[in-house]
Amino acid sequence: MPNVINVKFRNRGKAYYFDPGALTPVPGDQVVVETSKGLELGECVEGVHEVGEEKVVSPLRPVVRAATSEDLRIAELNRNKEAGAFTVCEERIKAHGLDMKLVDVEYSFDGSKILFFFTADGRVDFRELVKDLAGRFHTRIELRQIGVRDGAKMMGGLGICGRPFCCSTFLEEFQPVSIRMAKTQNLSLNPTKISGTCGRLMCCLKYEQEAYEHLIKTLPKAEASVDTPKGKGTVTEVNLLRRTVKVRLADPADTTLQTYPVDRLGYTLNGEYIEPKPEEKAPVVSELPDLSLYMSDRPGRLGSRVAAALEGKAGEKNGERSGEKKGRSRSRNRNKSAKERPAEAEVRKDRPEGERKKSAAPVAHSPKSHGQPPPAGGNVKAQAAGEKGEGKKGNYHRRYFHRGKKPGGGQKSES
């Protein structure tokens, strides 16, 4: 088997085989090769490898050399000349009144020929245009008519999917695309939705055609009779990608369409009856896991905690912990109430000890005498009897506080 490398020109189109000889270029290297047009500068896209004899078109042309800095400079000059030649050719096309669209201009590597690519709806007589261009550039002129797909491949652009054209990125050859593919894939037959920028059917319709054809062969067709969990029915619609069908049941009482996965249906395909698969149920855990492997008498282990819970010891510990938590919450509340009255604590601290004892006993005020001191004489019972006449409001605000006596009438001891 011969050793070859793959070379692309202008990083587009098909990759061609060339004989590397003693050279070992790697992908990305620029090489000068011999073609039917003469010497051309191309890019190596695949290194040295072996291929079968049937894949090689004889004669296999050789790689002349690896591209030098001078070769790259000449290629850059040719790119600049192509831009000027494109403008001149468009002007001459308008001057001659020709119905054609210029797509691209290509200079040969040695500058001996200029190739103009154009598209047109029909045949175009461009003999006068060739003479005009030859008189301006003083070199060999060639005009080549191409199709709209080839024009889109040369110009490039973005498709309706938002990505660069497939033909200008990775497609080496155009595949035939028909409207039957759009029908098979249940797509809209609106030309604006299934056509590419070039105006022809999109090349990507070919990508999934084999998958759709395989699904059609393995799924029941519309109007086919099937067996469902609710009885017999007729298929009205098939979703190939989701592998589901809509069924109209034979029971006249049930007029709604039911959607079933294909695996849940029984149907005849190519003379063979396909049995429905039983519905899979989630596994049910009937027994608790065995904890004997984790049981241990050592403190702090999982087994000791489980054993304590089974014997009721865990409940006692939880009660002790809850009591501790309640005690901590009460101490926090007391600390919080003391912090909320810092000014009052400071005032009491500054007073003499005698005044502090006097102010410690709260003073009872009646609702009728706000802001007035209580009477000097009298005991608590007389004071309470006087407040009875003030009604329920007076009874509600009654206070039984007296210096040296408890509310129950007992004598307070002083040390």
CATH of region 220-274, choose from 1.20.1090.10, 2.30.30.30, 3.40.50.300, 3.40.1580.10:
2.30.30.30
For residues 268 and 321, the model is more confident at 268
Contact 126, 166 (CB under 8 A): no
Q: Is the pTM of this model over 0.75?
A: no
Phi, psi of 169 (to 5 degrees): -115, -60
- H or E element that contains 69: helix 69-96
Q: Inform me whether the pLDDT recorded for 97 exceeds 50.
A: yes
In the chain, % of residues over pLDDT 70:
67
Q: Which distant-in-sequence residues (6+ apart) come within 8 Å of 26 by Cβ?
A: 44, 47
For residues 26 and 341, the model is more confident at 26
Burial 213-252 (b: 16+ CB within 10 A, else e): eebeeebbeeebebbbeeeebebeebebeeebbbbbbeee
Give pLDDT tens digits for 192-218. Answer: 888 888 888 998 899 889 989 988 888
Contact 29, 72 (CB under 8 A): no
Question: Where in the chain are all domains bearing CATH 3.30.300.20?
Answer: 75-146
Q: Give the per-residue pLDDT at 99.
A: 87
* DSSP H helices in 224-352: 302-310, 313-340, 342-350
* 75-146 is a CATH 3.30.450.20 domain: no
Q: Inform me whether the pLDDT recorded for 329 exceeds 60.
A: yes
Q: Please identify which residue in the block is written with the tokens 């896991």.
A: 289
Question: Where in the chain are all domains bearing CATH 2.30.30.30?
Answer: 220-274
Q: Inform me whether the pLDDT recorded for 144 exceeds 60.
A: yes
What is the band of 24 on the pLDDT scale with cuts at 50, 70, 90?
A: confident
Q: Inform me whether the pLDDT recorded for 76 exceeds 70.
A: yes
Q: Give the per-residue pLDDT at 414.
A: 42
Highest mean pLDDT among 180-184, 330-334, 386-390: 180-184
Q: Give the per-residue pLDDT at 369.
A: 45
- H or E element that contains 259: strand 257-261
